[in-house]
Amino acid sequence: MVHIRDVWVNWFEGEENGYNVCDFFEWRSDDRIEVLDQAFVVKVNEELFDYIENNICELPDSLLDAVYQKSYLRKNMSRIQLDYCFIATDGKRIIAVDTIGYRTPIRKSRLTPRQEQIVFELLQNEKIQEFKLDNILFAKEYHILSPSPEEMKGLTRKERQLKQLLFMALDQLFTSGNEAEVRYWYTEWDPTMYMPIQEMTMEEAKDSLFEEVKIGWTSRHYHLCEKMIKGQPFFEKLWELEHGESVK
C-alpha cells in the first residue's frame, strides 16, 4: 500500500479527453487548487490508464474496492475522507482521480512536477498491484464534439478551448444550417474557394470545411470562430470566459 502526502490538485470536471486535463505549466491563477492530505497510489496497465484518462465511464470494481476511503482532502483545519480518490500511473504517465462518490472518474488532475517525481520514485522500490479492465470493452471514438488528440496536438490551453468552441459552432451549422449557410461559412474560411464551393453539394461542403478546419490552430481559425459565434449568447459567454473580452 503506497500513499503520498500534500498533493496539489487542480480538478477538471467531466472531461472525457486527457488533453483537457491540463499539465501543471498550464494551470492558471484563478484555477481552484485543492490539497490532498493523503492520496492512495495505484499502478495500472497502459490500457486501463487510457480508459481512466480518456473516459468518464464506470471504473472496474476491483480498482474501486482497492482505493475505497484511502485518500483524504485537506480543507481548512479538517481532514475529509474521500470514497474513491486515487492517483494512477502506468509507470510513464500520472493522473489523479476523484469520483465524488460515484463509480466514474468525474474529476481528474495532473500533479506538480515534484509530486510526479515522488510517485515515480515510489514505484521503483514498491511492488504495486496491477488492475485490469475486468471485461470492460474500451474503444474510444472521436468526433466533432470530442476531437482526437491529434487535432489538439501542440495547442495551448486557450487554443484548445477556442477550437472546441469553434467545433461546437460548426456542429450547430452542420446540424441545423442550410446549404447556403454552409457555403457562406466555407467561403468565410477560404474566400479563394468561392467558385468551387458553389459547385459542391451540401455534404461535400461540410466534409471539406471540417477536414480543413480540424487541422491546427491559426488566426484563420480564431477569426472564423469569432464570426460564427457572434449573436449567440451561450457561445459568446464561453468566448468571454476563455478570451477575457466580448466578441467584437
pLDDT in tens, 197-227: 999 999 999 999 999 999 999 999 999 999 9
Average pLDDT, the chain: 92
Do 87 and 7 contact (CB within 8 A), yes or no? yes
For range 162-182, the mean pLDDT:
95
Query: Which alpha helices (DSSP H) does 126-218 contain, by range?
Result: 149-152, 157-176, 179-189, 194-199, 202-213
Q: Cα 18 to chain center, whole Å?
A: 5
**Confidence band for 124, pLDDT divided at 50, 70 and 90:** confident
For range 149-178, the mean pLDDT:
95
Give pLDDT tens digits for 83-97: 999 999 988 999 999
Q: Is the pLDDT of residue 245 over 80?
A: no
Q: What's the grid cell of residue 95?
A: 493522473
Do 88 and 95 contact (CB within 8 A), yes or no? yes
pLDDT for 81: 96
Rg (CA), the chain: 21
For range 29-56, the mean pLDDT:
93
**Confidence band for 137, pLDDT divided at 50, 70 and 90:** low
Q: Is the pLDDT of residue 162 over 70?
A: yes
Least confidently predicted of 138-142, 143-147, 165-169? 138-142
Q: Which residues contact 47 (CB under 8 A, 6 or more apart)?
A: 132, 133, 138
For range 129-134, the mean pLDDT:
71
The whole-angstrom separation of Cα 60 and Cα 214 is 34
The whole-angstrom separation of Cα 191 and Cα 86 is 51
**Confidence band for 123, pLDDT divided at 50, 70 and 90:** confident
One-letter amino acid of 22: C
